[in-house]
Amino acid sequence: MSMRNVLLTIAYDGTNFSGWQRQPDRRTVQGEIERVLSQLCGQTITVNGTSRTDAGVHALDQHASFCADFGIPVERIPLAANHLLLAGCHRPGTVSDVQILQAREVGAEFHARFSSRGKRYLYRIRNAAQPDLFLRNACYQIEPPLDEAAMNKAAGHIVGTHDFRCFMAAGSQVGEDTVRTVYELCVERSGDWLTLSIAGDGFLYNMVRIITGTLIEVGLGRREPGSVACAIEGKQRALSGHTAPPQGLYLAKVFYDEAELAAFRE
């Protein structure tokens, strides 16, 4: 046996978690994952997650890596871990609110966060008079009709490489490099549902939720699409819109170099 570096793909419903990051006396995704991996590996395991999602935020494709010398075959980790994650739930035919979808061995130099080349987030909005009772913690409920054409017009000002300081939560670290590249940003409607999709090389704290809140204000006609260009230019948080609530946000994809991922040891 020897040290192995393992990359996990993880999905979760963030509703009942105090976010990703481990905290004493709080139920967090990292805390749950580390608890069951430590059981499986017979030693204390610490994982590095790609994105430290906030309380209430979901993930369809979170990644986390850990390095350890352990006995269980890597491919058996998802089933065994999901079984331990479900323990304590006594209803058959249901699953835990966090699921390990895949585990694979990667090269020693691979790191779930530092090796990432970018991410895609989705933000789901229910745009109807009647809320969806069963998805109420998985979307932002907005009754007045949203004009998605206007929202997409505003989105056009955001795509590209900019100083995105105006979309960073007030009180964030001063002196941080606030230049990022947004590769793609679009809003699509399917009946009563709007999905905002944004891909970029990195995101400032609360950036996706502030962009979403700003585009929603455009969609409601409370703000001109062009005002988004002015906000970016002005570099002031006060020039952008409200922070959309966490429950509509999903970490949807983490981008890695194919070459780096292909450097498996097996």
Which residues of the shown chain bind its own copies in the complex (CB under 8 A)? 11-13, 56, 58, 91-95, 97, 99, 131, 133-142, 244-248
In this complex, which beta carbon is closest to its own copies, that of residue 44 or of residue 130? Answer: 130
3-state secondary structure of 98: strand
Please state the closest distance from residue 138 (CB atom) to its own copies, in A.
5
Please state the closest distance from residue 92 (CB atom) to its own copies, in A.
5
Please state the closest distance from residue 187 (CB atom) to its own copies, in A.
16
The rounded Cα 94 to chain-centroid distance in angstroms is 23
- Rounded Cα gap, residues 94 and 161, in angstroms: 43
In this complex, which beta carbon is closest to its own copies, that of residue 49 or of residue 246? Answer: 246
In this complex, which beta carbon is closest to its own copies, that of residue 70 or of residue 123? Answer: 123
Please state the closest distance from residue 56 (CB atom) to its own copies, in A.
7
8 A C-beta contact, residue 141 and residue 244:
no
Task: Determine which one of 54, 147, 163, 201 is catalytic.
Answer: 54
- Nearest Cα to Cα of residue 183 among 200, 167, 206, 196: 200
In this complex, which beta carbon is closest to its own copies, that of residue 11 or of residue 230? Answer: 11
- Rounded Cα gap, residues 229 and 234, in angstroms: 9
* Helix-, strand-, coil-residue percentages of the chain, each rounded to 5: 30, 30, 40
Q: Is 25 a catalytic residue?
A: no
Residues taking part in catalysis: 54
